[in-house]
Amino acid sequence: MIQQISILPARPLRPYIEEYHWIGNPTVLEDWIEEDNLPMPVSGLCFQFGGGQPIMISHGEVEKEKLPPGYVLPPSTKRFTVHFRGGVQMLAVIFRPAAFFEFFGWPLYEFSDQTVPLSDTEGRVEFRSLQEHLQEKKAPAQQALVLDTYFLQKIKNKKESNPAILHALAEINKNRGIARPRHLLAKSGVGSRQLRRLFNDHLGMPPRDFLRIYRFFSAYWAILSGRFENLTQLALDNGYYDQAHFIHEFQEFTGMSPHQFIKKQFLILDKVAWKNEDN
């Protein structure tokens, strides 16, 4: 069984880091498991441990790519598939929007929709040391403490986000993604070209893509939690023109209709064990 553990970072880090997410399957399976992943407007760092089978990733019909031991978890604008057989553990640092740029100062669009090894970044030396310290710890909670130590030191020199991007994100959060680029322009106080550059740098994608994905996830989580009466009302509540518009985008992001998706969720619930650890 696949085990997933969600661990909160130290309190001073929580405005910037949403969680440390640990995934493990100690048993090497006979067959490969394929896990479809949705587009995600988040970023972070990812580390692999264990001597099991390599974890692979693919985008559509593109040939599978072996994931490196450590890599930048990139914002993604399209779905992708992870292939694994077990015997490995993965630890991901999930940043809140814009926080990756604040900590490292690297434009996120340079990482979007691709796998960039940590060894290919400007922080390769400190990341190598961080991975070695993580490797020494066996329990996820102990690894989380290593990450806390690293980021509590890192936070002392973090960059400050441009106020325009913070105003835009606040507007998006307030309206659950139901916003238009022109509304963000009015709230941000900058021109369209500068706002696009800020989104690309801080979030890894232009405003239109970020809004589409954010809006989709608002509806997606409503479906998972059962907080909707019917698809038509769900579509309207989340800023879609009509049910057909919602179904079209849902299929684009998930590869299936909402009804097919709901049916699939019931089939996979017994395969994953969840655990939350609050510090």
222 touches 234 (CB < 8 A)? yes
The pLDDT of residue 278 is 58
Domains and CATH numbers, the chain: 2-159 (2.60.120.10), 163-267 (1.10.10.60)
The pLDDT of residue 196 is 94
The pLDDT of residue 127 is 97
Residue 171: which of 223, 110, 214, 123 has the closest Cα?
214
The pLDDT of residue 52 is 67
pLDDT in tens, the chain (279 residues): 678 899 999 999 999 999 999 988 777 777 888 888 889 889 999 999 876 677 888 876 667 888 999 999 999 998 888 888 777 889 999 999 999 999 999 999 999 999 999 999 999 999 999 999 999 998 999 999 999 999 999 999 998 888 999 989 988 888 777 777 787 888 788 899 999 999 999 999 999 999 999 999 999 988 888 888 889 999 998 889 899 999 999 999 998 998 888 777 654 444 434 444 555
The pLDDT of residue 249 is 94
Report the 3 state secondary structure along the chain: CEEEEEECCCHHHCCCEEEEEEEEECCCCCCCEEEEECCECCCEEEEEECCCCCCEEECCCCCCEECCCEEEECCECCCEEEEECCCEEEEEEEECCCHHHHHHCCCHHHCCCCCEEHHHCCCHHHHHHHHHHHHHCCCHHHHHHHHHHHHHHHHHHCCCCCHHHHHHHHHHHHCCCCCCHHHHHHHHCCCHHHHHHHHHHHHCCCHHHHHHHHHHHHHHHHHHHCCCCCHHHHHHHCCCCCHHHHHHHHHHHHCCCHHHHHHHHHHHHHHEEEEEECC
The pLDDT of residue 265 is 65
pTM of the model: 0.86
Q: Which residues pair with 58 in a beta bridge?
A: 81
